[in-house]
Structure 1
């Protein structure tokens, strides 16, 4: 039997008949991307996915095609294959520089080749070289992804378009890292690798999109399936179900399927195939009941009002922010910061944190109601300001930072490097509002702040999401989590972040184990402190499984943690990241899959190169609405995607099918100028040549004074010292708990500083503060003494200055 699943908002997502991403009609033919086929097999809380991209060469010369596309940010890419004619070439995972060298050599020699690279956790690039005239080449990616679960529902989210991102900073003078529309800058040194050209709305002949999800409840009671943003159909066969997209859907928004069923506490152990005494575990623990009381909170709300937030997103963001303010009580304090290129606060609220009384809450909501989208997404400054506001919170108060944004920025690494360490001192929750949200970056921010990331793809989804956020803002149910193993030994450094237990959200943690006698009879016990200060624990017996996806998903999560540590300054981790990626066969930013054919098909290599333009995301304001137009739209350029083919640009421009390139010898178009009126044939992409298509903050230069390494963290160290002095009269168990928490934050600060011997040593000792026999007076005195020295002495009691080191290797994205 076949029955329809009603979309949450049919009027907003029903496809236009002639719109989409795909073939660009010219005298010479079409753009290379012909089809995208996604097949997902969902079993419980894990999905195995195969993505097949079909490329065709409509030209009469060999072609190299480039496609910048998204994948789920938590997915582990474990397989890559190229198929052409009757030949099947399996991809090999190699260090990124070596993979590029192999690809370039094969293409120059006239052999077919393909390479897959990760630019961001959810942005990837595929290049396919030497597609001969008239030939179709298939590229297959195999991946596994976990399904987040909360409040009785799991979510399968598959992104389908890379949204334009704001690119701050001053342009760099060296060679560009990629072929995108924005130049590399000092803030985003690989901007040209994450900015594909963008098609204008209404462009005909979309890519043939096929998406199928096969759902196996795996013994769970599947009560309901809901599709968001797309029209789908369901086919039932016993307990299993298959969901398919209706034909004609476009690659312009995320695909989202929510599955309602009751999850349970479980421990899965997957032994390695080659060595059965080692393996990977995945633990899921359901949270306890929520208490009726909570601690007072200090809350800083950051609201993104930049140009990319125009239209329905700004409306939803204002509603979300107002709902957060309304949840505050008289015992709380708060601040509201709205930002684009500048940071603004409600005029009638006091400086610092204001009491959350009725009058102040009303003034904040009144300010939020007047906000409109404008400007660029300068996210770093408001994050730094928010952390300063929260730095002086009292120990008994819960410190909370809530960020409402679409996350469409390119300088993720710069932001993590500057504020990553400070995020550990507050509970950070992110609310991502978009139909093609930057989920990877928002998830990383929430993970560093031990908070939650809530994604909102429509106004209909907002109320449900805000109920979740309302609970997240409150104190967690269980903190200070630790694991105790029975029957197996946990491998040091392999266990993913434990975080805290929140209402409605199960704890999910994974890692590696060793067991001389096998994993049968193994168990894990989770221990922590409940909200009332009493010990809490849950013992979970293990079940042995052969599900290889558990190992891949753990490896991706472990690599993501290593990459985040690298981003905040721990550069020595590069080789460990490469080794881990190669050992477990999971793609990361430091490695790449490459498939090389042995057959020569194109003497001299490709004579034409095309970067596939992508759709503007659904729900984004079109050009012509300056207040809401994302700046990156004005920077999009199809000229960059046709490098090496000026004759094509010249011949096509007259027909109106391609825009952005002058005839040879003609004057260059003005970057960011007005979009030309529609021609008889639809415009293909937003105009402006790449060298002029940058976005950067006015007046920002590349030359900056180099501060002392401690300058950035000294305010936080001073705040930590104040908290300790204010807590000197508290009971011993409470003070030991405070020291243990402080140890985790000091460890993060030491990493941020690029290494600090005394902070690292103290952090290690404080991590053991709650163990029996801990020397409370000695630890307390030692901590106060070191923090005092670091906050008063610019050199800081042996502070480690980061020496200038010559760069012996190029950045991994430029090798």
Structure 2
């Protein structure tokens, strides 16, 4: 009988992976992560350890090496099939070998194989990647180290095998530290994980370190939100080429990374669009019945989604068009096609939203997207698509390709809900759809993040975007990144360009982005020095290479077979030249210096990955789901999982809303006003008699005067008591203020004064926007 020792899986198999140490370095908005995976074989047979794990979908993996005793092996990037054959050949001949490759299904899943680790031997694997940090709607820079890999739903086709266990049973440890530096002071760093206190390294607070608190339970991704003071400062980094690379090649020439933050005129920002077609696509798969987080288990993903749809529908402008789709294994839509927004259609939609449950099975997003895109666009009403999903799908590339194909006809805003949402899917849809991505994790509320994105959607679409360069004689720029397709107020636009320099003299250059905003020509401009920055390594080159590789891979999937091979060849060449992984390449390392071959039959050990089983025993979800989590098999394929199965019993009627803001919002009419009735009075904490008695004498009997009085009371209550969640109700309050101003009533000031007296507030009329 085998003597088990060390860490064990649920199947009582030893786990050779003992620990992961992750060290993050952030310079302004670029992050470099170095992860060290420590292995030890305590068995009496040589092992092959296989670990399938998530990485950020937009990361450029640029280094992979192994340390076995005194031997250090640096992996090479090679064409994928060649790398796989070399790995297999090495194992069959008794050599140690290491293989790192990207999943065929999604660029945010990688497989790491450690082959022929001898009995009693240890090995350290070093993995490095670089990535740009995405700007959130609240101006924070988001870094996420994925630690959770939920089973990806896939209805058909081949799947990647992954071994998973509930987060509480992960048999290895994780340590994480970060060092942050920026030209601007670091105001704060937040996280959904437990962190040690932020340590500033200098007096001007431009450098800081932070560490993950002890005992990380693998129940969530490690997310950092980094906030700089005066973050919206344009910048350019020029990086020297690699001395050993051929001049004229990507790695041999200097590369510049330009970050621009276009600012729109206040006149444009204060006048939000009154037109548009708003299509909301809501995930109703079984996994949406899971709780949003551990601190509020009664709030499920689907219940939060219902509340969010209420806010969205109440905030839409009169005269626009809208529709709501929901999907699982099948899909539904409330209206056959988008309808004009009115009191009648809004009420009809909200009645259907109230019935929404997480009972549609799997996560098949492709078919509803195809149906949406098959609908003719409405003239003079630009389409805005809002996609809500927990991101557990297996056909990520097919979905993002479809969004990109239809990018000219719409903007796509995507929301990743809960731990383990696929960054490749959420970021990919927003990037390819010219929109914005948001992630709702930890204790985040969905509503403020979604309303921030609605603000973006209500901004006028920026058109006729072009980039021009003003460079000294003998200097030219070749843009490497995809053309800019979307610009939002205060959001970063990134441009990579390869520079050809004929002389070493210092000089300055200028890059200008021109565009049309609400029919008016505008531009953003940056002057920068062409002298390469010191000690920047090849980070900018690798990010530029990653950008080109992803662009070529996307093109390859839509090309003819002949062009397909040509595109694949270009990707492989670029990947090998830059040392950055791709779909068509892999990192391969073979230990040829180990002397004697490692004899004996090879035993495969799958390293388990944490997943996030958090179904709660809520009124809308049977209690048996909560207990089922702890009895799952530890082996999964990326196919349908128990999380994506229909609910086990019929849904109970929706519970009454307890959130006072949502109660008030639910009473608002589509036009923006409120009706004076007992429900509103109760919501304000008053009786109908008190509200009636407090109204100014100038307000006439029942009619428009009562509607005006009711609407002003609602606005005073929001501004007086709920400023902490203003992001959630600001748009609908602006709509209410517009309705009030449109009445041209002579007694508004009297109503504001009387309303303040009744509610015990001191809100100024100007603050209400009336």
Is the TM value for this pair above 0.5? yes
Task: Give the TM-score normalised by the residue count of structure 1.
Answer: 0.69
Instruction: Please tell me whether residue 474 in structure 1 is matched to residue 475 in structure 2.
Output: no
**Are the counterparts in 1 of residues 101 and 585 from structure 2 also a CA contact under 8 Å?**
yes
Distance, in Å, in 2 between the alignment partners of 1:89 and 1:476 is 53
State how 1:304-383 maps to structure 2 within 5 Å.
304-312=283-291, 313-346=301-334, 350-374=335-359, 375-383=361-369
Distance, in Å, in 1 between the alignment partners of 2:10 and 2:643 is 30
TM superposition shift of 1:44: 0.8
Matching residue within 577, 581, 586 for 1:583:
577
Distance, in Å, in 2 between the alignment partners of 1:510 and 1:687 is 42
State how 1:527-542 maps to structure 2 within 5 Å.
527-531=514-518, 533-542=519-528
Flag as ranges the 4+ runs of structure 1 deviating above 6 A: 625-630, 687-698
TM superposition shift of 1:476: 4.3
State how 1:634-649 maps to structure 2 within 5 Å.
none
Q: Alpha-carbon deviations, 1:523-543, whole Å to 9, x = none? A: 211111112x12112221123
Instruction: Please tell me whether residue 609 in structure 1 is matched to residue 604 in structure 2.
Output: yes
Distance, in Å, in 1 between the alignment partners of 2:164 and 2:12 is 20
Go from structure 1 to structure 2 and tell me whether the alpha carbon gap of 1:59 and 1:621 turns closer, same or farther (over 3 Å shift): farther
TM superposition shift of 1:685: 3.2
Matching residue within 162, 172, 187 for 1:196:
162
Distance, in Å, in 1 between the alignment partners of 2:79 and 2:617 is 40
Instruction: Please tell me whether residue 595 in structure 1 is matched to residue 589 in structure 2.
Output: yes
TM superposition shift of 1:370: 2.2
Distance, in Å, in 1 between the alignment partners of 2:219 and 2:488 is 33
Matching residue of 2:150: 163
Go from structure 1 to structure 2 and tell me whether the alpha carbon gap of 1:62 and 1:600 turns closer, same or farther (over 3 Å shift): farther
Go from structure 1 to structure 2 and tell me whether the alpha carbon gap of 1:162 and 1:307 turns closer, same or farther (over 3 Å shift): same
Matching residue of 1:268: 237
State how 1:632-671 maps to structure 2 within 5 Å.
none
TM superposition shift of 1:477: 5.8
Distance, in Å, in 1 between the alignment partners of 2:346 and 2:283 is 19
**Are the counterparts in 1 of residues 276 and 321 from structure 2 also a CA contact under 8 Å?**
yes
Q: Alpha-carbon deviations, 1:254-274, whole Å to 9, x = none? A: 111111112201222223133
Distance, in Å, in 1 between the alignment partners of 2:635 and 2:128 is 35
Distance, in Å, in 2 between the alignment partners of 1:100 and 1:453 is 35
Distance, in Å, in 1 between the alignment partners of 2:353 and 2:558 is 33
Go from structure 1 to structure 2 and tell me whether the alpha carbon gap of 1:691 and 1:224 turns closer, same or farther (over 3 Å shift): closer
Q: What secondary structure is seen at the aligned counterpart in 1 of 2:449? A: helix
Q: What secondary structure is seen at the aligned counterpart in 2 of 1:513? A: strand
Q: What secondary structure is seen at the aligned counterpart in 1 of 2:485? A: coil
State how 1:706-785 maps to structure 2 within 5 Å.
none
- Unaligned 5+ segments in structure 1 are 1-21, 170-184, 634-673, 699-815
**Are the counterparts in 2 of residues 421 and 568 from structure 1 also a CA contact under 8 Å?**
no
Matching residue of 2:257: 282
Matching residue of 1:253: 220
Distance, in Å, in 1 between the alignment partners of 2:628 and 2:597 is 39
Matching residue of 2:100: 116
State how 1:395-544 maps to structure 2 within 5 Å.
396-417=380-401, 420-476=404-460, 478-487=462-471, 488-491=475-478, 494-517=480-503, 520-531=507-518, 533-543=519-529, 544=531
Task: Give the TM-score normalised by the residue count of structure 2.
Answer: 0.72
Distance, in Å, in 2 between the alignment partners of 1:430 and 1:692 is 22
What root-mean-square deviation, in Å, do the aligned CA atoms of Structure 1 and Structure 2 show? 3.1
TM superposition shift of 1:61: 0.4
State how 1:655-694 maps to structure 2 within 5 Å.
685-686=633-634
Q: What secondary structure is seen at the aligned counterpart in 2 of 1:575? A: helix
TM superposition shift of 1:361: 2.0
Distance, in Å, in 1 between the alignment partners of 2:336 and 2:102 is 43
State how 1:142-153 maps to structure 2 within 5 Å.
142-150=128-136, 151-153=138-140
Go from structure 1 to structure 2 and tell me whether the alpha carbon gap of 1:353 and 1:423 turns closer, same or farther (over 3 Å shift): same
Matching residue of 1:222: 186
Go from structure 1 to structure 2 and tell me whether the alpha carbon gap of 1:58 and 1:620 turns closer, same or farther (over 3 Å shift): farther
State how 1:171-182 maps to structure 2 within 5 Å.
none
Go from structure 1 to structure 2 and tell me whether the alpha carbon gap of 1:96 and 1:587 turns closer, same or farther (over 3 Å shift): same
Go from structure 1 to structure 2 and tell me whether the alpha carbon gap of 1:620 and 1:124 turns closer, same or farther (over 3 Å shift): farther
**Are the counterparts in 1 of residues 286 and 645 from structure 2 also a CA contact under 8 Å?**
no
Instruction: Please tell me whether residue 237 in structure 1 is matched to residue 224 in structure 2.
Output: no
Q: What secondary structure is seen at the aligned counterpart in 2 of 1:505? A: coil
Q: What secondary structure is seen at the aligned counterpart in 2 of 1:79? A: strand
Distance, in Å, in 1 between the alignment partners of 2:551 and 2:438 is 20
